[in-house]
Chains A and B, each alone.
Chain A
Amino acid sequence: MIDVKYSLSKHIVSGIRAIFPRRTAEYFALIGLILILSIIVMAIFAPLIAPYNPIKKVGDILERPSNKFILGTDGLGRDILSRIIFGARTAILVTFLAISISLSVGVFLGLLSGYIGGKFDSVFSLIMDAVYSFPGLILAIVLTAMLGPGIVNTAIAIAVIYTPTYFRMVRGLVLSLKESLFVEAARAIGARDRTIVFKYIFPNVISSVPIVLSLNAADAVLTLAALSFLGLGLPAPTPDWGFDLKAGHAYLAAKIWWPSTFPGLMIVILTLGFSLLGEGINELLNPELRR
């Protein structure tokens, strides 16, 4: 009996200990995760948390932060806190869409291009390298300017920038896996190409995605914010951190700091969350980086 009790409490203690980070990298990952999750929770429960309607005039214009409006009101008399909370929806939704598109297109084309090889591969690689070398934001600016504003269009413009990252990573891995023994064995027993690619190569490739994904998400948040800051993101009344930052910029010279400070801070917090998480798992998964 005593033994069981002892081992049980030992399990609980070690369980609790396992939650608490021991290395810097674990701290980074944990803090990053907390930041991201709180913003996701904010996005999901926005209507419950937000004190006011984010697109309605609820007070005087440019009211200072007070008990009634914790973060003040913007140039149209809307509550900044509510706009920030609803803005989380825009940020999370567009980032999620953009990353999903670039991930699926990039991984699929990378698998195909790496496995088929030959001219097909050269052409695709060249195109992807070209997009990769191009300054991403400039590409996205022109794309959104031509596609027009909107959630899906913005997500597509951002996805185009990050597709090459996945493509290049997956293609490189496929090229080396293609020659490995287990693929050769699969081929020897007569497995079809489709089976080899999706059943044998794909699972080996996908494990290296999370790090890139997290760092890309950080970048995507910044790109979305930049597009909205330039007025190329979502149409006007939608709560959007980048757009609100730009709107608040106009009142700066009059010492009205609150309409720009808070939306910008949210952008930085979400980006920081993703980069901390990416940095953390990168170090935890790559033993070579551990020091």
Chain B
Amino acid sequence: MRMASLKVYIVRRILLAIPMVFILLGIVFLIMRVAGDPVSAILGGHAPQEQIQQIKEQLGLNRPLLIQFFDYLGQLLRGNLGRSLIWGQRPVINEIWDHFPATLELSVCSFIISVIIGIFTGMIAATHPNKPLDHTFRLYGIITYGLFIPWIGIMFQLLFGVYLGLLPIGGRIGTLMEPKIITGLYILDGLLTLDFDSLASAIKHLILPSLTLGIYLSGIYTRLTRTHLMEILEKDFIKAARARGLPEKVVIYRHGLKNAFIPILTMMGLQFALLLVGAVLTEITFSWPGMGSLLFERITYRDFTTVQGTVVFFALIVVTVNLLVDIVYAYIDPRIRY
């Protein structure tokens, strides 16, 4: 019974995601063609007529909009995002796979950092309601959310990179390193190939960017943990646990935090878009060669197809992650399935 209803839920949830994907793809398509003229975006506005015609021909932009849209969808279904307009015209999908591991590595590390800081500070705040510690961490939650990632990143670069000289301020790995690439995640590759020099260099390069993004995101988890844990700690079963004489630590960790975890987990899924946005800004601040840097670089070079492909890729990631979060949530909490 239990598994059957979960399966039904998953199928239903996937069916619901399909129109969402089409609408997102449609929005990207419209922005790239209607919000501005793609040809002048590529050529910069002052181009001879024949060159304009040539680009239109090359990209199929002189066909009716609807036909362009179906062609674009058809290409996407076959996993074809077109070819880059610059530098050897590589397929866009290859460009994306080259840059995606960097973004993944940064996002995962920042996420772990933010969750650790967030749950820890939120827990302290929740267990000292209306005390100075509580106010401090509430303020921490508000301030971190208002931090401008490039600025906090630059401050870190100044302090730890320029003045203390402890950590590198840009890039993913030392310029002289030649890591063997297996997964594209340098830390994992360093471990797999037992290349400890590259591993150390990769970790050193990762610290400042992931700390920047991690601290920015942690404030949200501080607030989430605080609110949900406070709510749980007022429930009867907590009072019962305390009445039984259980040590306060056991009450808070085993009874409180464990039960507050489900709502915190769901909200984490909802913050995924924020993680991506943060990653884009962090990457650009630290010259981290991920998807955000790719997007920014290609906007500067007016590489229309790569920009479109990157944005489509972002859209698909978001839909997929939201889908996965919903399914995991339904698995944990059976009430969701109905």
Is B138 engaged at the interface, CB distance under 8 Å to the other chain? yes
Cβ contacts A253-282/B at 8 Å (1 or 0 each): 101010011001101100110111001000
Main secondary structure of the interface of B (DSSP, over half): helix
A contact residues around B169 at 8 Å (CB): 252-253
Specify which of A142, A232, A275, A291 is in contact with B230 (CB 8 Å cutoff): A291
Contacts of A134 in B (CB 8 A): 24, 27, 273, 314-315, 318
Q: Is the CB of A126 within 8 A of B31?
A: no
Query: Is B19 part of the binding interface, using a Cβ–Cβ cutoff of 8 Å?
Result: yes
Q: Does B307 contact A (CB under 8 A)?
A: yes
B161 — which chain A residues lie within 8 A by C-beta? 252
A2 interfacial contact with B, CB 8 Å:
no
CA A149 to CA B300, docked complex, whole Å: 13
Is there a chain B Cβ closer than 8 Å to A18's Cβ? no
Contacts of A133 in B (CB 8 A): 20, 24, 273, 318-319, 322
Interface string of B126-140 (1 = CB under 8 A from A): 000110000100100
Determine how close the nearest CB of chain B comes to the CB of A19; give it in whole angstroms: 21
Q: Is B61 an interface residue (CB 8 A)?
A: no
A34 contacts partner chain B, Cβ-Cβ < 8 Å: no
Q: Which among B20, B31, B296 is the interface contact of A146 at CB below 8 angstroms?
A: B31
- A164 and B132 CA atoms in complex are apart in Å by 37
A-B contact count, CB below 8 Å?
144
Residue B163 lies at the interface, judged by CB distance under 8 Å to chain A: yes
Q: Are A145 and B157 neighbours in the complex by a CB distance under 8 Å?
A: no
Cα A257 to Cα B36 with chains together (Å)? 37
Contact with B along A226-249 (1 / 0, CB 8 A): 100111100000000010011011
Interface of A is mostly: helix
Give chain A nearest CB distance to B68 CB in angstroms: 16
A271 and B318 CA atoms in complex are apart in Å by 26
Asked whether B28 is an interface residue with its Cβ less than 8 Å from the other chain, the reply is yes
A130 near B23 (CB under 8 angstroms)?
yes
Give the shortest distance, in Å, between A245 (CB) and chain B (any CB): 6
Q: Which residue of B lies closest to A146 (CB)?
A: B36
**A253 CB contact (under 8 Å) in B28, B162, B281, B319:** B162
Asked if A261 contacts B314 (CB within 8 A), the reply is: no
A143 within 8 A of B: yes
Q: How far is B314's CA from A133's CA once the two chains are assembled, in angstroms?
A: 11
User: Measured between C-beta atoms, what is the minimum distance from B72 to chain A in Å?
Assistant: 15
CB-contacts of B267-313 with A (<8 A): 273-274, 276-277, 280-281, 284-285, 295-296, 299-300, 307, 311
Kindly state whether residue A135 has any CB partner on chain B within 8 Å. Answer: yes
B-side contacts of A275, CB under 8 Å: 142, 145-146
State in angstroms the CA–CA spacing of A218 and B169 once bound together.
28
Contact A252 B150 (CB under 8 A): no
Contact string against A for B residues 147-173, beta-carbon threshold 8 Å, 1 for contact and 0 otherwise: 111110011011001110000010000
Cα A230 to Cα B163 with chains together (Å): 26
Query: Would you call A211 an interface residue if the criterion is a C-beta within 8 Å of the partner chain's C-beta atoms?
Result: no
Q: Which residues of A contact B24 (CB under 8 A)?
A: 130, 133-134
Name the one of A143, A145, A249 contacting B154, with C-beta atoms under 8 angstroms. Answer: A249
* Complex contact A264–B19 (CB within 8 A): no
Task: Choose one: A143, A148, A261; the contact of B31 (CB below 8 Å).
Answer: A143
A226 in contact with B20 (CB, 8 Å): no
**B32 interfacial by beta-carbon distance below 8 Å:** yes
Min distance, Cβ B213 to any Cβ of chain A, angstroms: 13
- Nearest CB in chain B to that of A129: its residue: B20
Q: Could you list 19 further interchain pairs (A-B, Cβ under 8 angstroms) beyond the known A245-B150, A271-B147?
A: A24-B138, A126-B19, A135-B277, A136-B273, A138-B280, A141-B295, A141-B299, A146-B35, A225-B148, A226-B150, A248-B154, A249-B150, A249-B154, A255-B162, A260-B154, A264-B151, A268-B147, A268-B151, A279-B142
20 A-B pairs whose Cβ atoms sit less than 8 Å apart in the complex: A133-B319, A134-B318, A135-B274, A139-B31, A141-B280, A146-B41, A148-B36, A222-B148, A225-B150, A229-B284, A245-B150, A249-B285, A255-B162, A257-B158, A264-B148, A264-B155, A265-B151, A267-B148, A268-B148, A271-B146
A-B pairs, 4 with minimum CB distance: A264-B151, A146-B36, A271-B146, A146-B35
